[in-house]
């Protein structure tokens, strides 16, 4: 039986997305479609929400070039200034499954101070309300996985958070909850294998792999301290890129930068990363992104198939599926039939664009089963548009 953790996800007014609603989404999901259909816009919209939760609305708008580059060109004029987001999700907290619902609306995006409204629910109980930049109102106190009612007079008969900065998310008041951690810890990867090969200076943060993977050497240096992580990475690299015998990092003597070194079977000496293929470095970046994913969070990876053999892609998909879980979900975007071939029906989301608007459809919604598609294969069904999700070109 499919393991759904997002019951409902809604995004409205972001680039090619007019209004998009997804239901029953798995921790491991793949969004497949042609170039330009809106896969990247979907990931960017999720990243926009994460930036807002972490750093406030002005940082999120600045990252995406402001209102002029963000809003949907297909929206009616009366609705074009308002971004909407909603997530209904079940997450484990202190051993208990809690259903969180977070609703965000940002109006007057073209103004210096957009109007922000937020609602947060714990197991259907309204716990926080913030209306158009008013002080957030906490209806319940959340601590150590328990909910304690507050009886204090104030707005809506609840506690008011005075002097709260109007451009920040009210989720900061619940920063330790799983829903806040999940939305804050979103990692969007668009790996650049060329920059990933370069040695890293001491100023490179080793805690989180950057979006382009350009601090790979620093992150590997940190992971080398754990024998378990080192063994897992080498084991999977040997599977995906046969012939790899050893991967380690080394501090260079001249400039003190951290470099990645490889050793292959049959060779005596190690050689630097700039001597291996882009596909090998790309695979290493993906493995680090997956294995080092956050305890609570969402990892988004674009085009994991780049530079990899179809058989290696199959192994990589198996690895990502193994590491995906509700608290630490991993989603991919692709236009590769090799990736689609390795999927199960409920893991595949078909993405296309109709009249300039992005739409998404879960492959299982056609009423077919994996057994129905066994003679043809999921990739052939996708390529022939048998799943009614649009052609991949």
Share above pLDDT 70 across residues of the chain, in percent, rounded to a whole number: 92
For residue 18, give Cα distances in angstroms to 29, 38, 302, 354, 360. Answer: 22, 11, 22, 11, 12
Tokens in use for 64? 């995406």
Q: Which residue has the higher pLDDT, 313 or 376?
A: 313
- Banded pLDDT at 138 (limits 50, 70, 90): low
Place of tokens 């084991």: 235
Phi-psi region of 345 (alpha: psi -120 to 50; beta: other; left: phi over 0): alpha
Residues 6+ apart with CB under 8 A from 245: 238, 263, 264, 265
CB 358 within 8 A of CB 351: yes
- Tens digits of residue pLDDT in 253-280: 777 889 999 998 888 889 989 899 999 9
The label of the residue with tokens 């049959």 reads 266
Select from 276, 323, 273 the least CA-distant residue to 301: 323
Nearest Cα neighbor of 187 from 214, 212, 161 is 212
* Confidence at 141, pLDDT banded by 50, 70, 90: low
- Residue 41's closest CA among 72, 18, 62, 15? 15
335 touches 34 (CB < 8 A): yes
Query: What's the CA gap between 213 and 10, in Å, rounded?
Result: 29
- CA 214, chain centre distance (Å): 18
pLDDT in tens, 319-370: 999 999 999 999 999 999 999 999 999 999 999 999 999 999 999 988 877 7
Helix/strand/coil for 84: strand
Q: Residue 279: in which H helix or E strand, if any?
A: helix 278-291
Cβ atoms of 296 and 91 within 8 Å: the answer is: yes
Closest-CA residue to 24 (of 1, 41, 46): 1
Report residue 393's pLDDT band, with 50, 70 and 90 as the boundaries.
low
Q: What is the pLDDT of residue 153?
A: 33
Q: Is it the case that residue 13 has pLDDT exceeding 60? A: yes
Q: Are 243 and 265 in contact (CB under 8 A)?
A: yes
Residue 179: other Cβ atoms inside 10 A: 23
> Residue 106: is its pLDDT beyond 60?
yes
pLDDT at 27: 96
Mean pLDDT (the chain, rounded): 87
State the Cα–Cα distance between residues 107 and 116, nearest whole angstrom. Answer: 6
Supply the DSSP string of 174-221, one letter for each residue.
Answer: GTTSHHHHHHHTEEEE---HHHHTS-B-TTS--SS--TT-TTHHHHHH
d(CA 348, CA 362): 6
Per-residue exposure over 363-380, b if at least 16 CB sit within 10 Å of its own CB, e if not: bbbbeeeeeebeeeebbe
How high is the pLDDT of residue 149?
39
Task: Report whether pLDDT(124) > 70.
Answer: yes
pLDDT band at 238 (very low <50, low <70, confident <90, very high): confident
Q: Which domains does the chain have, with CATH numbers?
A: 1-185+297-393 (3.40.50), 190-293 (no CATH)
Close Cβ partners of 23 (under 8 Å, ≥ 6 residues apart): 7, 8, 9
Q: pTM of the entire structure?
A: 0.91
Q: What per-residue confidence (pLDDT) applies to 77?
A: 76
CB 193 within 8 A of CB 213: yes
> Both ends of the chain: CA-CA distance in Å?
32
37 CB-side CA count, 13 A: 23
Beta carbons of 260 and 297 less than 8 angstroms apart: no
- State the CB neighbour count (10 A cutoff) for residue 211: 16
Residue 35, token pair as written in the block: 């170039």
């Amino acid at each position: 039986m499919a393991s759904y953790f997002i019951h409902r996800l809604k995004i409205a007014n972001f680039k090619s997305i007019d209004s998009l609603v997804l239901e029953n989404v798995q921790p491991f999901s793949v969004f497949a479609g042609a170039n330009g259909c809106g896969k990247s816009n979907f990931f960017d919209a999720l990243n926009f929400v994460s930036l807002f939760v972490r750093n406030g609305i002005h940082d999120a708008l600045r990252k995406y070039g402001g209102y002029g580059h963000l809003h949907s060109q297909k929206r009616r004029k009366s609705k074009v200034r308002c971004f909407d987001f909603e997530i209904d999700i079940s997450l484990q907290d202190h051993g208990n499954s809690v259903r969180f619902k977070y609703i965000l609306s940002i109006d007057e995006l073209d103004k210096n101070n957009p109007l922000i409204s937020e609602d947060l629910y714990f197991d259907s109980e309204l716990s926080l309300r913030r209306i158009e930049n008013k002080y957030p109102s906490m209806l319940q106190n959340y601590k150590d996985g328990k909910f304690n009612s507050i009886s204090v007079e104030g707005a809506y008969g609840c506690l008011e958070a005075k002097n709260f900065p109007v451009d920040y998310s009210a989720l900061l008041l619940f920063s330790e909850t799983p829903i806040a951690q999940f939305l804050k810890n979103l990692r969007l990867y668009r790996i650049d294998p060329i920059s990933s090969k370069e040695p890293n200076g001491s100023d490179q943060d080793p805690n989180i792999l950057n979006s382009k993977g350009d601090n790979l050497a620093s992150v590997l240096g940190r992971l080398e301290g754990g024998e378990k992580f080192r063994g897992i990475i080498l084991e999977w690299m040997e599977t995906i890129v046969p012939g790899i015998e050893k991967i380690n990092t080394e501090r260079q003597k001249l400039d003190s930068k951290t470099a990645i070194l490889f050793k292959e079977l049959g060779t005596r000496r190690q050689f630097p990363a700039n001597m291996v293929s882009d596909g090998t470095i790309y695979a290493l970046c993906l493995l680090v992104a997956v294995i080092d994913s956050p305890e609570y969070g969402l990892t988004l990876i674009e085009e994991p198939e780049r530079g990899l053999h179809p058989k290696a892609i199959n192994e990589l998909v198996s690895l990502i599926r193994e590491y995906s879980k509700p608290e630490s979900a991993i989603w991919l975007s692709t236009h590769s039939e090799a990736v689609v071939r390795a999927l199960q029906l409920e893991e595949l989301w078909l993405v296309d664009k109709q009249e300039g608007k992005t739409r998404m459809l879960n492959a299982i919604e056609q009423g077919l089963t994996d057994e129905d598609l066994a003679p043809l294969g999921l990739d052939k069904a996708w390529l022939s548009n048998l799943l009614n999700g649009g052609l991949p070109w």
